Each structure stands twice: as structure tokens, then as C-alpha cells.
């Protein structure tokens, strides 16, 4: 057994050693509110490597210097009395959806309850998830293939925490395992089967300014190696926006040194998950969540993957680097684009 693991199992059950416990990966994982229902485990059956010592598991994003959430006076939530109303365009949380999205066909919903009793003039469903039955909380199929942001209810809303439009807010429900791969360092696999459209987890990290992200890229020997941990929160970035937080360069999330288990998920050119932008309070669009959802049915034990550049092949290395400086993609898919950067 590795020394740090031994320290944890024999010494961290006690009240002392608080400083040591704070630095211990096992204690960090055990402190997650989802630890009992959906634990994160770490295994290495391949070599003697341990998780990086300078990495810390966190359960919430950390706001870096110069980054803040919206002031209380700008915050708002819906006033829906019953959470059944949080699926129609009248819910304030869904008010920023394009009309086109709100009006779209809901025939894929298989929502027997609503489709059978809905009168012709009833309001159209506008939210992202199936509402009833075994598919409750699963992304509607139109959304799975779209790049639309997800607008959810949140703490500032009148509806209850069990509102069906709070899927990401309720957090991960799937137990995950960080495991050592033979060829790509650590990876993550699911300990339960996952349905297409099911929420898996958020990509967490330190939210930093664009200038700080550039500084960190420059400090890295190969900036593209740093790039795999940096994700821009640019879903609502618009140079024309009157909101200065959205008109300028977007904030970025750095998951290299602080993150959740998702930071260990490897890239695939034919992935089983995709990142969606998720918004709670509309005043916080500049710090929107990055939520990973399954885009295929995933079997228990299967490795989780996402496309680091979401299909944008031109973002991959070819132009400026010589072939020797580029990192070969080992995703093994028949659609492989060959290089990570």
C-alpha cells in the first residue's frame, strides 16, 4: 500500500491530524456530500504512480483573483408556485431561451402524462429535460445533439429543491472510479450504467481571468499541454453585449491543480459525453457551469471520455508544430484525428 494511503486508513479516522487530513486525497473525496450515495474511488492496477501531490479535490469551483459572482441586488429567480410550472416558457428561469427553442416539437419526449392531457392551447414545454417516468431528468434528445445552453432553476427560485429543472444543481449521482490506464495516465470509468442524456458531473476548477489563463499558458513549457486543463466560459460571450462581463474575453476554468474527478477524464475523438453550458442565476452567465452529459448509453465499467475541442478539428495541432512535438491521440476510435495537440 502506498504511504499516503496507509496514513489515511490508519490515522485519519481520528480527530487529530487535521492539517494532514486537509492534504489527503481520500479525506477530500470522503468530505463530498455525495460520498455515501455516489463515491469516487481511485485504483491503480498498472504501476506504482499515485495521484499528483500538487492536486486537490474540490466540490465547488474556486473564484480566482478578480473574479466574482453577481451582486445580490442583480440576482433573481423564478416565482413559480409549483415546480410543474418550471418547464414552460412562463418560468423566469427559461425566459432567455430563443422562441424557436421554446416552440420546438416535443414529440420525442415520450412524456405520456403531458402528451395525453395537454389541451391544444396549452403552453409548450421549454425546458431541457424529460419530466416523468424512467427518463425523468434525462436531456431531451434534441438537446443531446445541440450546443444550446441549459437554463436551470436554482437557490434563488421559489420552487422546491426537488424541481425537475435542477438536475445539475442536485449534483452527480453516478459513482465514478479514477483508474490507471496502460497508456494515457489516469482515466475515469463509471461504476454504474449511464443513459444517453444523463448528467454525469461538472468540470470544476479555479475560475480565472483570461489574462491569468494566458499567463499560465505562457508559463507552461508547451502551452497546448496546459490548454487541456483550461476551458473558456465563452457560451454567452458577445462583443456587442452591454454587460462588460460578457463583452470582453471570457473567464476560463483551470482544473489542473484543483478539480473534481472529471479532471482525470481522457479525450476521445468519438466520445461518450459532451460538455454543456449550464446557467442557474442569469446574472452569473459569465461564470456558467460546464456540465458533462452522456451522449450515448454507457455500460457499467466503461471509460468516460469527451472531445476536448468538441469536434473542432482545426483547434488540434497540425499547423504550427512539427510532427515530433505533437502528442499522438490514443483514443483508439475509428474516427481518431490522430493528434491531441
Ligand X SMILES: C[S@@+](CC[C@H](N)C(=O)[O-])C[C@H]1O[C@@H](n2cnc3c(N)ncnc32)[C@H](O)[C@@H]1O
The residue ranges that bind ligand X (CB under 6 A) are 184-187, 225, 228-229, 263-264, 266-268, 329-331, 340
* Cβ distance to ligand X smaller for residue 105 or 324: 324
Upper half-sphere CA count for residue 249 (Cβ side, 13 Å): 9
275 binds Zn ion (CB under 5 A): no
In degrees and rounded to multiples of 5, residue 117 shows phi and psi of -100, -10
27 binds, among Zn ion, ligand X, none (CB under 5 to 8 A by kind): Zn ion
By rule CB under 5 A, what count of residues binds Zn ion?
A: 20
31 secondary structure, DSSP code: T
**Smallest gap from residue 184 Cβ to ligand X (A):** 4
27 binds Zn ion (CB under 5 A): yes
- Taking CB under 5 A as the rule, which mask of x and - marks residues 320-339 in contact with Zn ion? ---------x-x----x---
> For the range 5-9, what are the long-range contacts, defined as Cβ-Cβ under 8 Å and sequence gap of 24 or more?
5/50
**Smallest gap from residue 327 Cβ to ligand X (A):** 6
* CA quadruple 257, 261, 266, 269: dihedral sign: negative
282 binds Zn ion (CB under 5 A): no
**Smallest gap from residue 217 Cβ to ligand X (A):** 14
Query: Exposure of 155 by Cβ count < 10 A (0-12 exposed, 13-18 middle, 19+ buried)?
Result: exposed
26 binds, among ligand X, Zn ion, none (CB under 5 to 8 A by kind): Zn ion
Distances (CA, A) of 21 to 13, 201, 223, 264: 9, 25, 33, 22
3-state secondary structure of 180: strand
Query: Any catalytic annotation for residue 129?
Result: no
* Cβ distance to ligand X smaller for residue 26 or 186: 186
Pick from 40, 42, 61, 93: which binds Zn ion (CB under 5 A)? Answer: 93
3-state secondary structure of 269: coil
159 binds Zn ion (CB under 5 A): yes
**Smallest gap from residue 44 Cβ to ligand X (A):** 11
Pick from 51, 67, 78, 188: which binds Zn ion (CB under 5 A)? Answer: 78
Q: Any bridge partners for residue 179, and if so which?
A: 43, 187
Query: Any catalytic annotation for residue 127?
Result: no
* Cβ distance to ligand X smaller for residue 233 or 331: 331
**Smallest gap from residue 46 Cβ to ligand X (A):** 11
* Cβ distance to ligand X smaller for residue 207 or 340: 340
264 binds, among Zn ion, ligand X, none (CB under 5 to 8 A by kind): ligand X
230 binds Zn ion (CB under 5 A): no
Sheet of strand 206-208, all strands in order from the earlier edge strand to the far edge: 62-63, 206-208, 252-254, 230-232
Instruction: Work out whether strand 206-208 and strand 62-63 pair parallel, antiparallel, or are unpaired.
Output: parallel
229 binds, among ligand X, Zn ion, none (CB under 5 to 8 A by kind): ligand X
Single out the catalytic residue among 129, 151, 203, 229: 203
Give the separation between CA 283 and CA 285, rounded to whole angstroms: 6
272 binds, among Zn ion, ligand X, none (CB under 5 to 8 A by kind): none
Give the separation between CA 297 and CA 14, rounded to whole angstroms: 42
**SS3 string of 67-136?**
CCCCCHHHCCCCCCCCHHHHHECCCHHHCCCCHHHHHCCCHHHCCHHHHHHCCCCCCCECCCECCCHHHC
Smallest CA-to-CA distance from 213 within 170, 270, 253, 273 is with 253
Active-site residue set: 203, 308
Name the residues that contact Zn ion, by CB under 5 A: 8, 12, 24, 26-27, 78, 80, 83, 86, 91, 93, 153, 157, 159, 163, 165, 269, 329, 331, 336
Amino acid at each position: 500500500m502506498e504511504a499516503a494511503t496507509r496514513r489515511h486508513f490508519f490515522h485519519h479516522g481520528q480527530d487529530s491530524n487535521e492539517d494532514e487530513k486537509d492534504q489527503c486525497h481520500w479525506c477530500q473525496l470522503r468530505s463530498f456530500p455525495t460520498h455515501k450515495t455516489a463515491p469516487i474511488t481511485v485504483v491503480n492496477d498498472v504501476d506504482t504512480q499515485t495521484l499528483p501531490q500538487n492536486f486537490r479535490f474540490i466540490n465547488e469551483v474556486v473564484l480566482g483573483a478578480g473574479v466574482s459572482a453577481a451582486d445580490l441586488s442583480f440576482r433573481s429567480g423564478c416565482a413559480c408556485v409549483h415546480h410543474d410550472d418550471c418547464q414552460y416558457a412562463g418560468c423566469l428561469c427559461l425566459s432567455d431561451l430563443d422562441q424557436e427553442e421554446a416552440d420546438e416539437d416535443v414529440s420525442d419526449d415520450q412524456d405520456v402524462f403531458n402528451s395525453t392531457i395537454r389541451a391544444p392551447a396549452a403552453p409548450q414545454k421549454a425546458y431541457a429535460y424529460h419530466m416523468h417516468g424512467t427518463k425523468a431528468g434525462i436531456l431531451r434528445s434534441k438537446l443531446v445533439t445541440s450546443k444550446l445552453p441549459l437554463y436551470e432553476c436554482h437557490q434563488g427560485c421559489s420552487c422546491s429543491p426537488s424541481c425537475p429543472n435542477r438536475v445539475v444543481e442536485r449534483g452527480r449521482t453516478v459513482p465514478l472510479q479514477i483508474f490507471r490506464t496502460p497508456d494515457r495516465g489516469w482515466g475515469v470509468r463509471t461504476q454504474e450504467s449511464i443513459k444517453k442524456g444523463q448528467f454525469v458531473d461538472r468540470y470544476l476548477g479555479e475560475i480565472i481571468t483570461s489574462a491569468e489563463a494566458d499567463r499560465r499558458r505562457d508559463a507552461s513549457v508547451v502551452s497546448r499541454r496546459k490548454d487541456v486543463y483550461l476551458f473558456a466560459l465563452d457560451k454567452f460571450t458577445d462583443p456587442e453585449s452591454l454587460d462588460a462581463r460578457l463583452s470582453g474575453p471570457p473567464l476560463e476554468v483551470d482544473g489542473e491543480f484543483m478539480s473534481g474527478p472529471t479532471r482525470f477524464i481522457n479525450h476521445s475523438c468519438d466520445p461518450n459525453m459532451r460538455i454543456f453550458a449550464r446557467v442557474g442565476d442569469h446574472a452569473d452567465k459569465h461564470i456558467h457551469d460546464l456540465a458533462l452529459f452522456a451522449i450515448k448509453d454507457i455500460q457499467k465499467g466503461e471509460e468516460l471520455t469527451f472531445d476536448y475541442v468538441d469536434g473542432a478539428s482545426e483547434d488540434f495541432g497540425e499547423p504550427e508544430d512539427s510532427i515530433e512535438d505533437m502528442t499522438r491521440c490514443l483514443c483508439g476510435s475509428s474516427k481518431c484525428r490522430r493528434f491531441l495537440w
